[in-house]
Structure 1
């Protein structure tokens, strides 16, 4: 049976680099993106580059439950699910608070739910969280944690607004909570799929040189000082994140599950050293 890989947000940035890596690790590769033009171009590019995998584009919004059901069905038709790199997401300058929570957290939960029946021994999934999840208020907030634990609840957004307060309407605050939610979801999902021998981890990128990252930097000048003061003193490259994801998806990481890997060039370490 053919091994199958899925990359979401595959049209650009870190998702594109993850797709490049997975194209040599599986036999069939589904590239998922909302932007049809971009994902078709990426699929054509990878198909013509001599990679091992047969590459297939799949146009879908990560928040479309019906689309994700079709994605899971297609993956099942192609073979055995081996690797999932879930890089699709939006950042604070791209949408309002509701859309950010819906795409970055609810979409991740919908994808995990759709693919869970395909999980088997050797299946591995990596979800993208963010260094941003480690900023902001770190004091225990039981009401917020309770809401984050149920992103598929029909009243999830209202519960988050009630638990966090009006501050959640700031897109940056919503993004922070969404990415914390992804980290929590990964812990829960690891327990769900562990009995069949499947694994789930998350990665939390720091500031990475992608179009989306540059857009954020234009609106938030403080990001430049974070980069300059980090341990390595530079922003990350998309392929560096893809290399970490590739390891987490590989058999070499077979005892890693339910954890988040911070890939930030030492930004947090530098902040801690100054505190």
Structure 2
């Protein structure tokens, strides 16, 4: 029997979410898949479904990416099953899903620790695509916050973030993504941190021939996106502020990720691609220019 063609690995985090499933299907055409999700039941179910569709799943991990054991298990799968081709990091929580502490821990610390762990496996041609959000573009620049979230390893991280948010009166961030309390502002800051993570790590990754980028989706027709629109303040205005006047589809994000991970994008690194149907330009108007 002829040996199987060697394919690189695609690590897809948040693999059971709408964007994660779309990315798994897209990258699974050309890569062997390693899936990660918070829920063991969901990731097992997805693994079976993708296998039935003809994709090759070499392993899956369930757990919190900010937890050392989860990352150790994920790292072991990458180490034992081949060369790392793509990291599609779609895992995250939104304003309506969690309190602000969980948002910061998951979206900021979890992302930083994941990237730290995967840096051990970077080779020439590896690409990471981090899913951020247009909320990260609407969160105002703040040097103190940026310095804190760029390296979110301090033991008192949450205390420091709370101090900043409370002092700002919960006013950091974009009100149309705002929920009661500090969740809305924290979400915007967490996604700004994701965008910055790609920019700040790009030079170090380039030394190994690897690239890292982010994508900022607008309103995407996933369970998370629908929940945000149905329950967020000023949600009715969101689609009106999207120039194309429609929801984005998960495959809109997966196809953008596939392009960014391809050889056609080999000179693109350390930057963010908005896939928002024109929401940010429409939202900011003349201030955009």
With the shorter chain as reference, the TM-score category is over 0.9
Give 2:135's match in structure 1, choosing from 132, 137, 145.
132
Alignment of 1:4-153 (within 5 A): 4-26=9-31, 28-51=32-55, 53-136=56-139, 138=140, 140-153=141-154
Corresponding position of 1:263: 275
Three-state SS of the structure 2 residue aligned to 1:126 is: strand
Quick check: 1:150–1:156 contact (8 Å CA) kept in 2? no
The size of the alignment, in residue pairs, is: 271
Three-state SS of the structure 1 residue aligned to 2:246 is: coil
Three-state SS of the structure 2 residue aligned to 1:246 is: helix
Query: Normalized against structure 2, the TM-score is what?
Result: 0.89
Three-state SS of the structure 2 residue aligned to 1:240 is: helix
Quick check: 2:248–2:277 contact (8 Å CA) kept in 1? yes
1:85-122 per-position Cα deviation (integer Å, ceiling 9, x unaligned): 00000001111111100001110001000110100101
Extract unaligned runs of 5+ from structure 1: none
How far the C-alpha of 1:2 sits from its partner, in A, is: 4.0
How far the C-alpha of 1:165 sits from its partner, in A, is: 3.1
RMSD value over aligned CA atoms? Answer: 1.7
How far the C-alpha of 1:55 sits from its partner, in A, is: 4.6
Query: Normalized against structure 1, the TM-score is what?
Result: 0.93
Quick check: 1:47–1:55 contact (8 Å CA) kept in 2? no
Q: Distance in 1 between matches of 2:204 and 2:166?
A: 31
Tell me which moved more, 265-274 or 72-81: 265-274
Quick check: 1:43–1:55 contact (8 Å CA) kept in 2? no
Extract unaligned runs of 5+ from structure 2: 1-5, 173-180
Q: Distance in 1 between matches of 2:76 and 2:206?
A: 22
